[in-house]
Amino acid sequence: MSACFDKFCQLDALLTQEKAYWQFMPFACQDYPWRHSNPELSTWLDALSELDLALLLEDSAALVRELAVFLPVLPEMHQLADIPALAPVSDVSPRLPRGLDVGIPGRKWLQILAFNAVLPSHQLPWLEWCAGKGYLGRVLAACHHTEVTSLEWQQRLTQDGQLAANQLGLPMTFIQADAFAPESARVIKPDQHAVALHACGDLHVSLLEQVAAKRTAAVSVSPCCYHLIRHEVYQPLSKPAKASELRLSKHDLRMPLQETVTAGQRVKQQRFVEVSYRLGFDALQKHLTGNHEYLPVPNVQKARLKHGFTDFCQWAAAQKGLPLTGDIDYLHWQQQGEARFREVERMELVRQAFRRPLEMWLVFDRALLMQEAGYQVSVGTFCDKPTTPRNIMIHAQLEK
Ligand SMILES: C[S@@+](CC[C@H](N)C(=O)[O-])C[C@H]1O[C@@H](n2cnc3c(N)ncnc32)[C@H](O)[C@@H]1O
């Protein structure tokens, strides 16, 4: 059995065993789900200062170290989720013609160079799936001197991409099409190297499935937006994932993307106000209606929050057709919301520790799909996290 298979099965067993710590919606929980089963963790979380919480959110190694005292499986899970950096096949940047990066945002350019540098060169035509303006395709065409077909849904992007490719004299052909349309399958051919940089959810999954069906020579994808799927719940791809007990909702699938961005003080304060208002209103509506379910309220204009908690509750109640009658102690419910915000933050902190293991479960599911179809698969990172947190590449080539 392959290393991917072993790691997948071990991660699957541990994620299933520990799902009380990550597979839940903090907003909808009145208290830590582990309050009684893991009281030491609850006490530690309650005592955690805001500063320590912020520091741990930004340092996942420290978070795993600290939480391992209460959740001893975490280091093993992170070891299983740890993947190597893919070795660059070449450093092509010096050989690229001038002007190739015109219009490409700086970080995207670095991602593309890094992605290209680890791609094995099979000297095959390229298929660029969900290409945008074909920024990656430009580098592939210029660097490997082989034709690139770039498929993209948005007409404006294909037009701009084709224009730029023509001006640069690159052998690129854009096709404006929906990747899910049956006709799009026709562009996937056996003698090709298909690539998808950050094609969302089902878009990269459908590419892998169609590549496997067409016996395409090679495919390299960097997955992102796992939650952008057409079904309500995740559809496992490989045999071990189909046999797993885990059922992943869209909320679960968002977790790998909930990277903590170091937000500035103003943004943090705005989030505190909005989230604590929502939680305070929820506590109030539960009290008034006897309903125990979390009641989601639509997006709110940020300017509205400046009018205070009472105004927010009146607006939210109107949205939900809920009469606000009687003498309501708004200050009390605002304070309830603030206390709940503190708890929700601490629940999210615990879920953070399972983020990369869950992402690797999803990545190994994709890798195993290709292995089962007879491909040799490698999985690794193609760039560092600051360049993009979605830095994983799955490369599969058909075994001869
Ligand atoms: C996150 S962007 C990535 C673009 C490019 N690969 C890159 O890394 O710069 C995803 C692209 O997929 C395209 N897209 C979304 N749905 C699509 C579909 N059904 N068929 C084809 N392209 C689609 C979007 O228009 C967008 O350009």
Q: Taking 60 as the threshold, does the pLDDT of residue 251 lie above it? A: yes
> Is the model's pLDDT at 310 over the cut of 70?
yes
Centroid of ligand 1 to alpha carbon of 89 (angstroms): 26
What average pLDDT does range 93-100 have in this prediction? 80
Mean pLDDT of the chain: 94
182 contacts: CB under 8 Å, gap ≥ 6: none
Q: What is the mean pLDDT of residues 205-221?
A: 98
- What integer pLDDT is reported at residue 67 of this predicted model? 98
Q: Can you give the three-state secondary structure of 343-386, one letter per residue?
A: HHHHHHHHHHCCHHHHHHHHHHHHHHHHHHCCEEEEEEECCCCC
Q: What are the structure tokens assigned to 209, written together?
A: 């499935």
If you measure from the C-alpha of residue 154 to the centroid of ligand 1, how many angstroms do you get, rounded to a whole number?
A: 8
DSSP letter for each residue of 237-302: -SHHHHT-S---BHHHHHGGG-PPP---HHHHHHHHHHHHHHHHHHHHHHHHH---S--------H
Question: What was the pLDDT predicted at 91?
Answer: 62
Q: From the CA of 43, how far away is ligand 1's center (Å)? A: 45
**Structure confidence at residue 35 (pLDDT):** 96
Q: Given this model, what pLDDT does residue 261 score?
A: 54
Residues 154, 162: contact at Cβ < 8 Å?
A: no
Going 31 to 35 to 41 to 47, the CA torsion angle's sign is: positive
Task: Name the residue among 203, 112, 194 with its Cα closest to residue 148.
Answer: 194
pLDDT in tens, 33-61: 999 999 999 999 999 999 999 899 889 99
User: Is the pLDDT at 264 greater than 80, yes or no?
Assistant: no
Nearest ligand 1 atom to the CA of 178 is: 20
DSSP string for 74-121: HHHHHHHH--PBPPPS---GGGSPTTTTTT--HHHHHHHHHHHHTS--
Sheet holding 193-200, edge to edge: 172-176, 148-152, 126-129, 193-200, 218-224, 392-398, 375-381
Query: How many helices (DSSP H) and strands (DSSP E) are in the chain?
Result: 16, 7
Tokens of 315: 């607006």
Residues with CB under 6 Å of ligand 1 are: 108, 130-132, 135-136, 152-154, 157, 178-180, 197-200, 203
Which atom of ligand 1 lies nearest, measured to the CA of 151?
Answer: 21
The amino acid at residue 175 is I
Q: Is residue 90 scored above 80 in pLDDT?
A: no
Q: Which atom of ligand 1 is nearest to the CA of 196?
A: 6
| pLDDT for the residue 66 | 98
Question: In this model, does residue 260 exceed pLDDT 60?
Answer: no
The rounded Å distance from CA 199 to ligand 1 centre is 6
The pLDDT of residue 266 is: 83
In terms of pLDDT, which residue wins out, 265 or 360? Answer: 360
Contact 251, 277 (CB under 8 A): no
Q: How does pLDDT run across 340-371, given as a tens digit for each residue?
A: 999 999 999 999 999 999 999 999 999 999 99
Q: Does the pLDDT of residue 94 top 70, yes or no?
A: no
Least confident stretch, 36-40, 313-317, 342-346, 385-389: 385-389
- For 43, residues 6+ apart whose C-beta sits below 8 A from its C-beta are none
**Residue 306 pLDDT > 90, yes or no?**
yes
220 - beta bridge partners? Answer: 195, 395
Instruction: Name all domains of the chain by residue range, CATH numbers in brackets.
Output: 93-256+374-398 (3.40.50.150)
**What percent of the chain is modeled with pLDDT above 90?**
87
Q: Which atom of ligand 1 is nearest to the CA of 225?
A: 1
Kindly tell me if the per-residue pLDDT of 187 is higher than 90: yes
Q: From the CB of residue 384, how many other CB atoms can be counted at a distance below 10 Å? A: 12
